[in-house]
Amino acid sequence: MPDLSAAARYGDPTAVLNVHNEVLRLQLAHRSVRRFGSRAVTEDELTALIAAAQSAPTSSNLQPWSVVAVRDPERKARLAALAGNQAFIDQAPLFLVWVADLGRASRLAARSGNEVSAVGYLETTIIGFVDTALAAQNAVLAAHSLGLGSVFVGAIRNRPAEVAAELGLPPHTVATFGLAVGVPDPDEQADVKPRLPQGAVLHRERYDATAADAHIAAYDKRLAEYNARFGLPGDWTGRVLARLRGPSSMAGRHTLRTTLERLGLPSR
């Protein structure tokens, strides 16, 4: 029998997967959770999440990331203030701050009397961000498998220097994003948010912009209907254009290159 969870993922009752298993079901059922119950995330659960994160691929086995687990309510409150005053950061029992960490390699070089000048180049910064994201997504799926919910917090990059000071981050590191984790509140008004049709993102052999973009109008309608169910305005196109309008829509992140240089990641 086909797995009907694809219908929810695409907001399309005709969408099905004819290949399915428990991992796929967890992935297709993923949604962001912004309201949490009071139960703490246990140390055993945290250990499992980090083990899953460390099982993600890593470029050349560099493992250029770290994570700071924050439980202290006062520190969570300060981080929430730095990340756009998002209340769910305060509410979540566990807030994980994922760090692109090139400091470890720099310290290794200093101890051994070697040089790692490649740390200062854009390619290495990209590796740090990519590997951190791969690790964190593994943790998200592991959390879901344990009955936990989560939501990524890109706003942790709004004020990266202040976040670095709050967490005591060493040189050559930067907080890439946060992840609020906890048991989902069953009363939260949210569901699986429809994604773009595969035809909009899957190209075969060569990129075909005309064919891909032909799917956007139908997706705008589906996402507008989803948003309306939860009292939210607009469609996907409007959201993308508003979010990428310019520096005024970036919540301070338009200065990130300068801040990265101050933190020891010049990315030249």
Tell me the average confidence (pLDDT) per consecutive run of 10 residues in the chain, 268 residues long: 76 91 93 95 98 98 98 97 95 98 94 93 96 98 97 97 97 97 94 96 98 97 94 94 94 92 92
Phi, psi of 55 (to 5 degrees): -90, 0
In terms of phi and psi (left: phi > 0; alpha: psi -120 to 50; beta: otherwise), the region of 267 is left
End-to-end CA distance of the chain: 52
Please say whether the beta carbons of 29 and 11 come within 8 A.
Answer: no
3 state SS of 54:
helix
Sheet of 65-70, strand order: 65-70, 94-101, 173-182, 149-153
pLDDT at 5: 85
Structure tokens that stand for 148 in this block: 């936990």
Q: Which residue spans within the chain are E strands per DSSP?
A: 65-70, 94-101, 149-153, 173-182
The Cα–Cα gap between 157 and 136 comes to 16
pLDDT at 1: 45
pLDDT at 85: 95
3 state SS of 154:
helix
The Cα–Cα gap between 142 and 244 comes to 31
CATH fold group of domain 31-190+258-262: NADH Oxidase (3.40.109)
3 state SS of 65:
strand
pTM of the model: 0.94
Please say whether the beta carbons of 65 and 99 come within 8 A.
Answer: yes
Measured N-to-C along each axis, helices 73-82 and 160-167 cross at an angle, to the nearest 10 degrees, of 170
